[in-house]
């Protein structure tokens, strides 16, 4: 089991971790198998999205903010981040990606990303290659 540490810089951010995870896959020497990812945080998530146009990550955050605005929820009376929790629960903390030729078998336009919904914070990503 490996671990990545990612420092986020904004309240909301999508950060591409494809290269970092591919480095772990390469070092594992597993040519064909599965890569399991898990983010142990209740206001972050893991997603897979196009990484060629950076505007698409902004569109993704924009869409989620339109659907789940900040500051209108019961939990906001305790801690003003209910929107971040709800977004995390919808997007989800885990992903499983096949490995082929010692690399993540991602599509041409797919990038592996973490979603920060309540940063800036230091986030851990658990990576298991089997």
Encoded tokens for 46: 């893991």
**In angstroms, what is the minimal distance from the CB of 31 to a second copy?**
11
Residue from the set 67, 80, 120, 122 that interacts with a second copy by CB under 8 A: 67
Q: Of residues 96-125, which lie at the interface with a second copy (CB under 8 A)?
A: 96-98, 100, 105-107, 109-110
- Cβ proximity to a second copy: between 1 and 29 the closer is 1
Q: Of residues 36-55, which lie at the interface with a second copy (CB under 8 A)?
A: 36, 38-43, 47-50, 53, 55
Beta-ladder partners of 97: 35
Element spanning 34, H or E: strand 33-38
In whole angstroms, give the CA distance from residue 130 to residue 72: 42
């Amino acid at each position: 089991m490996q671990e990545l540490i990612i420092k986020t810089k904004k309240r909301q951010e999508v950060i591409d971790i494809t290269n970092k995870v591919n480095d772990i896959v390469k070092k594992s020497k597993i040519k064909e198998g599965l890569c399991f990812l898990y983010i142990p945080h209740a206001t972050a998530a893991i997603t897979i999205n196009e990484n060629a146009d950076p505007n698409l990550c902004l569109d993704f955050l924009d869409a989620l903010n339109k659907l789940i605005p900040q500051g209108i929820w019961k939990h906001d009376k305790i801690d003003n981040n209910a929107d971040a929790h709800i977004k995390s629960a919808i997007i989800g903390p885990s992903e499983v990606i096949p490995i082929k030729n010692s690399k993540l078998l991602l599509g041409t336009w797919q990038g592996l990303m973490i979603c920060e919904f309540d940063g800036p914070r230091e986030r851990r990503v658990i990576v298991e290659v089997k």
